[in-house]
Amino acid sequence: MKKATQNVTGRMKIKFMERVDEMIEMEKMTDYTCDPEFIPSYNKLMGNRDQFLNSLIFVFGSSQTLNMEGYSINVKHLIDVSANIRDQAFDLKMKMTAYWKIVLKRMVDYLALQLRFFMQQLVNKEIEAEVVNVVMLNGGGIEKMLVEPPSVAKKRERLQSSISLLKESKEIIEQVMEGIVVASD
């Protein structure tokens, strides 16, 4: 059973990792979402445009980063960039930020679903087939399962010798007790 379980879990782990890699590749190739939270999240982030522009004006002070919606954005390098490119960069960053939240949620959901699916497959289908394969076909069948392992045989021999020693001790104690009873009469 242990060997069969190890074989199946190893194969399932490889399949799971391949599926995760596929999902990551799909996310890298496409920037698509139909999640209704994308537009409100993007609009909320774009509402910080004034804060972003003000931070560029005051960047000569001590702060070189802008903290916005839990994200820290380095803005020092944007001082010498034209306003049009800064606006495009800000727009792109906000789209990527809104999209990244959705990707993370999708990844967590996908991984949980895949893990549950693989565990169900492992328990319901794969283990049974692998046990039959290992025990019946490759492992010698039921006869091999019935053979007593050497460790069990040693324990059995020790128990049998202990039992025989206890029986002898009982007989000796009974003889001694009979002798005491006869002597006291």
- In degrees rounded to 5, what are phi and psi of residue 71? -115, 140
Q: What is the mean pLDDT of residues 136-150?
A: 68
Segment holding 102, helix H or strand E: helix 83-121
How confident is the model at residue 57, as a pLDDT? 63
Contact in structure between 122 and 12 (CB atoms under 8 Å)? yes
How confident is the model at residue 164, as a pLDDT? 94
Q: State the residue range of the domain holding 178.
A: 148-184
110 and 174 assigned to the same domain: no
Q: What is the mean pLDDT of residues 144-160?
A: 84
Distances (CA, A) of 182 to 9, 169, 174: 71, 20, 12
Q: Name the residue with higher pLDDT: 180 or 56.
A: 180
140 and 154 assigned to the same domain: no
Tell me the DSSP string of 117-162.
HHHHHIIIIIHHHHHIIIIIIIS-THHHHHSPPHHHHHHHHHHHHH
Q: Name the residue with higher pLDDT: 72 or 94.
A: 94
117 and 168 assigned to the same domain: no
14 and 91 assigned to the same domain: yes
pLDDT tens for residues 112-133?
A: 888 888 888 888 887 777 777 7
101 and 51 assigned to the same domain: yes
Q: How many beta carbons lie within 10 A of that of residue 44, not counting itself? A: 12
Where does the pLDDT of residue 85 fall: very low under 50, low under 70, confident under 90, or very high at 90 and above? Answer: confident
43 and 10 assigned to the same domain: yes
Domain count, the chain: 2
Q: Which two tokens stand for residue 27?
A: 């996310």
pLDDT at 60 over 70: no
How confident is the model at residue 141, as a pLDDT? 60
120 and 167 assigned to the same domain: no
Where does the pLDDT of residue 184 fall: very low under 50, low under 70, confident under 90, or very high at 90 and above? Answer: low
164 and 132 assigned to the same domain: no
pLDDT at 61 over 60: no
pLDDT at 157 over 70: yes
